[in-house]
Structure formats: C-alpha cells, structure tokens
Chain A
Amino acid sequence: GEDVEQSLFLSVREGDSSVINCTYTDSSSTYLYWYKQEPGAGLQLLTYIFSNMDMKQDQRLTVLLNKKDKHLSLRIADTQTGDSAIYFCAGCGHGGATNKLIFGTGTLLAVQP
C-alpha cells in the first residue's frame, strides 16, 4: 500500500523560504495534497497537485512534483510566524479513492522571528 514519509522538523527565520519535503511510494496517486494543522485545530487543505503536473503555484506556495523520484515538496516564500504549524502531505493510491488517502507523519515548521 501507499507509504508517505516526511522529515519531522524544520526551523527557518521569518522572511526566509521554507521547503518541506515528502516522499511517497504509490505512483498511482492521482492527486497529492498538502494540509496545514495549527495548534488546537484540524487539518486545513492548503493546496493540491494533479499527478500529471510538475509544478503548481498559489501565492506564496509552490508545489513541486517529481514523479520519477516520487518526491513532493512545498515551498513557502517569505515565511511568516503565522506559518508555524504542522504540515502534512497526503497521497491517494487505489485509483484516487479518498477513503484510501494516506497521510505522512507531518513536518513541524517553526518560524523564528
């Protein structure tokens, strides 16, 4: 089945760019997602990328997908203290069935002022 891995922790200074990386195993994932979880809250959908795309940009967020290496990254430009949160990537094998969505363990992003 699908396995999704992320590094556990990333620390950056305010104003710098953050890059959060994710690797997955199931190449049949139709969509790959990034979610953000702030303390005491649920997971908030940030962005997603369709598997036939290499890149998607949405304001300060850039998602890069390398299907050959099964590597997904989320770049946050001009990182702010409000970006401090846990970031989860998620892949959906089994033909894209949402009930088969597999989440990574999350990357804690700490933004230093």
Chain B
Amino acid sequence: ETGVTQTPRHLVMGMTNKKSLKCEQHLGHNAMYWYKQSAKKPLELMFVYNFKEQTENNSVPSRFSPECPNSSHLFLHLHTLQPEDSALYLCASSQELGNTPLHFGNGTRLTVT
C-alpha cells in the first residue's frame, strides 16, 4: 500500500481525446512531482509543485497541463497527445524540496493510439 495513489492505472486514448491523470498523497508532504518513464530512457522529471505553486517545468510540451489545487492533489491534463507520449507517468511527493526522499505512486500506463 503506497501513500501516493494514482488513477487510472491504465489509460488508452486517441490523439484527439482529452483525459486527466490524478494523483493523491496521504503523507502530509509539501512537494509533488510528475515524472515520465519511457522504455530504455532515464526517468524524466516533468513538473514540480511546492506548496501548490509550480516551481519547475522541464520544457514539457503544452499538450501536458498540470494542476495542483492543494498540497495533496496533483493532476495532469492531457490533450492532443502523440503516440510517442505513450509511457508510464509517475507521480511522487516529498516532505520538502531539499534532501528528502521521493515517494512514488504506482503510475498510470498511458497508451496513445
């Protein structure tokens, strides 16, 4: 049982669809993250939020739109994705931004057709 819950676990969407990924953490952490994990590539940090404020956007295309309504919830809104966006999207949280370990959810396996 992880303290970081992601839904859905699997998602198949067409290139014209709009969908959202949801992440919730029950750990009382202040920072939340979106990572992308593709086959044979290192884990890629996408976005960072600290106390609900976005602190980092790693040159992510605008077809990915994050939202952080509070410190416990994080969303990733998806629209007009490309097949190369198919990947495992991992949410993580940490107590703060410095010297504290990341706690990951189980991820959403996204397939873009």
Contacts and interface: CB of A to CB of B under 8 A. Distances in A.
Contacts of B90: 42-43
Chain A interface mostly helix, strand, loop or mixed? strand
B31 A98 contact: yes
B2 A103 contact: no
A40 B98 contact: no
B104 A44 contact: yes
A92 B48 CA distance: 15
B45 A99 contact: yes
Interface residues on A, range: 20 to 34
Contacts of B6: 42
B53 interface: no
Interface in B35-92: 40-43, 45, 48, 55-56, 90, 92
A31 B101 contact: yes
Given A42-B90, A43-B90, A105-B42, A98 B102 contact: yes
B99 A98 contact: yes
B100 A98 contact: yes
Could you say which of B31, B33, B106 has the most chain A C-beta atoms within 10 Å of its C-beta?
Answer: B106
A87 interface: no
Interface of B: 2, 4, 6, 31, 33, 40-43, 45, 48, 55-56, 90, 92, 94, 96-107, 109
Give 3 nearest A-B pairs by CB, closest first. A42-B104, A96-B99, A103-B43
Interface of A: 30-31, 33, 35, 40-45, 48, 88, 92, 95-99, 101-105
